Amino acid sequence: MDILTLARIQFGMTTVFHFLFVPLSIGLGLAVAIMETLYVIKKDEIYKDMTKFWGKIFLLSFAVGVVTGIIQEFQFGMNWSEYSRFMGDIFGAPLAVEALLAFFLESTFIGLWAFTWDKVKPRTHAIFMWLVAIGSALSALWILAANSFMQHPVSYTINPETNRAEMDSFFGLLQNPQLWLEFPHVILGAFTTGAFVIVGISAMNLRKKRNIEFNRKSMKLGAILGTIFAIATMGVGHQQMIALATDQPMKFAAMEAMYDDLEDGSWTAVAFPDTENKDAGFEIKVPKLMSLLMGDDGNTTYKGMNTLDKELVEKYKGEHDIASFYVPVKTLFWSFRFMAGFGSVMAIVGLLVLFFLRNDKIMNMGWALFGTSLMALAPFIANTSGWLITELGRFPWTVYGLFTIADSVSPNVTANQLLFSNIVYFLLFALMGTVLVKMILRENKKGPYYVDPDAANNEIDPLAKEEF
C-alpha cells in the first residue's frame, strides 16, 4: 500500500477510536457534574453514590480519550506534514488555545476531583467537576473551530509566496457559520452519549434487579438528559443539513445517493447505488419528503453527483487537476441513515422510558429493559456515522476547495514506517478497548455499594489539622 492510503487508514482508525471515548467522557462529565450538584442541593446521599459510581466510569473513559488525543495532535506533523505547513498559520492557533484553555483546566481539576473526596467542601468538589465539564466542552469548541475551517474555510488569504493559507482574523475563524452548527451538534451529541450509556447500563441492572433505587434514579436522570439532548442534536443536525446543500453539495448529494438532479422533492429511504455506472440503482422514494425536510416549496432542484462532478472538475481545472470528485456514496448514504435513525430511536426510547418510569411500570417489562439496555450502543453508532459523513464527505480535500488529501501527506515518511505504526496502534486500540469495556462492566457488576476489603482499614482523617 502507498503512504497516502496508509496515512488515511491511520487517521481514520485513530479518529474513530478517539471519538468513541471523547463524547462518552464529555457526556458522562456533564451528567456527573449534574449528579453532584443535585447532591449538594438536595443533600440526598444517593446522588453522592451516583456521582461516585458514574464518576468511576467517567474516569476510565477519560483516560483512553486523553491518550488517543495525543496521537491525534502529533499525527498532523508526523503523517501530514505538508498539510501542517500549508495550514499551520490557521490550524495551529485553535489547537494551541485548546491545550492552553481547555486541557490544563480539565486535567488539573480532574486530578483535584478524583483525589479530594472528603477533603474539600462538597460544593467546592462539585465545582471541580463543573470545571472539568467546562474544560472538555471548550476543548470541543476549539478543535471544531479547526475542523470547521477544513470543511468551510473562512477569513484566510492564500499567500502565493509562501504557498500557504494565512489567517486574516482570529474572530473571523470563530465566526465561521459552520462552527456554530458543528459545535452544538457535536457537543449535544456527546451529552446524549453520556446520558444513554447511563440509561443503558441502568436498564441492564434493573433487569437483573441490582440496586433498584440507585439504578432507577440513574435511569431517570439519564433519560431526561438523553431525551432533551437527542432532540436538540437532531434539531441542530437538521440546520446543518440545510447549510450543507449549498456549502458542500457533493456531500449532500452523496448522503442522499443522488446521481441525477433531484427535481420532484422526493426523499430516498433506501438505495443501493451502483457506484461503477454512476447510477442510483434500486431505491425506495418517499414523495415530497425532501422538500418538507429542507423547507422548500417543492420546486427547488438539488444537483445530483453527476452534474456536480462535471461542475467541480471545470471549476478547479488548472488549479487542482482532479479527475473525479465522487465521494464514497454508499458509506455516506448509509451512515446518514444510521446517524439520523439511531438519533430518532434514542429520542423515542428516552420518552418511552420516562413514560413507563411513572409508577415504575418499566420494572416489570423485562423485554423493554433489555431493549433499553441495548441503547447504550446507539450513540456510538450515531457519533461514528456522523464523523464518517463529515470527513469522508470532504474528499478529495483536507481543506475544502483549497488543499487536497494527496498533497497533505508527509513525503519523507516511508510506507514501512506507516505500516508498522498502523499495526501497533491497532493492537493498542484493541487492547485498550477490550480492557476498558471489561473494566466498566466489572465496575458495574460490583455496583455502587461495593467496598474494597483492602481499602477498608485505611481510615484516616485527611482534614485533621496535623495532616497539613
Partner 1 sequence: MIAGLEPLHFIWFLLICVLFVGFFFLEGFDFGVGLATRLLAKDEKERDTVVQTIGPVWDSNEVWLITAGGAMFASFPHWYATLFSGYYIPLFLILVGLIVRGVSFEFAAHSETKKEKNFWQWMLFVGSLIVPFMFGMIFTSMIQGMPIDENFNIFAKFGDYVNLMSIVGGVAVTLICFIHGLNYIRLKVEGDLRVRAEKLSQKLYPVLFVGLVVFAVLVYRNTDFIERRPVSTIAILAVIVAAAVAAYYGALKGKETLSFLSTGAVLAGIVVLIFNGIFPYVMIGDVAANSIKISEAASTLYTLKTMTIVTACILPFVLAYLSWSYYIFRKRIKVGEGNEHY
Match 442541593 to its residue by C-alpha cell: 41
Q: Compute the distance between CA of residue 457 and CA of residue 59 in angstroms, rounded to an integer.
A: 24
Name the residue nearer to partner 1 (CB basis): 60 or 346: 60
Q: Compute the distance between CA of residue 250 and CA of residue 123 in angstroms, rounded to an integer.
A: 51
Name the residue nearer to partner 1 (CB basis): 86 or 338: 86
Residue 237 beta carbon to partner 1: minimum distance, rounded to whole angstroms: 29
Residue 457 beta carbon to partner 1: minimum distance, rounded to whole angstroms: 8
Residue 427 beta carbon to partner 1: minimum distance, rounded to whole angstroms: 10
Name the residue nearer to partner 1 (CB basis): 168 or 263: 168
Say how many CA atoms lie within 13 Å of 152 toward its Cβ: 24
For the chain, helix (H) and strand (E) counts, in that order, are: 16, 6
Name the residue nearer to partner 1 (CB basis): 96 or 377: 96
Q: What length is written for the chain?
A: 468
* Orientation of helix 3-42 relative to helix 378-392, angle to 10°: 140
Q: Which residues pair with 165 in a beta bridge?
A: 158
Cell output for 329: 456514496
Residue 411 beta carbon to partner 1: minimum distance, rounded to whole angstroms: 6
Q: What angle do CA 77, 78, 83 make, to 5 degrees?
A: 45
Helix (H) or strand (E) holding 399: strand 397-399
Contact call for residues 346 and 381 (beta carbons, < 8 A): no
What residues contact residue 440 under an 8 Å CB cut-off, 6+ apart?
Answer: 57, 60, 61
Residue 190 beta carbon to partner 1: minimum distance, rounded to whole angstroms: 20
Residue 339 beta carbon to partner 1: minimum distance, rounded to whole angstroms: 29
Q: How many CB atoms lie within 10 A of CB 416?
A: 10
Name the residue nearer to partner 1 (CB basis): 321 or 467: 467
Name the residue nearer to partner 1 (CB basis): 3 or 236: 3
Name the residue nearer to partner 1 (CB basis): 85 or 337: 85
Residue 152 beta carbon to partner 1: minimum distance, rounded to whole angstroms: 19
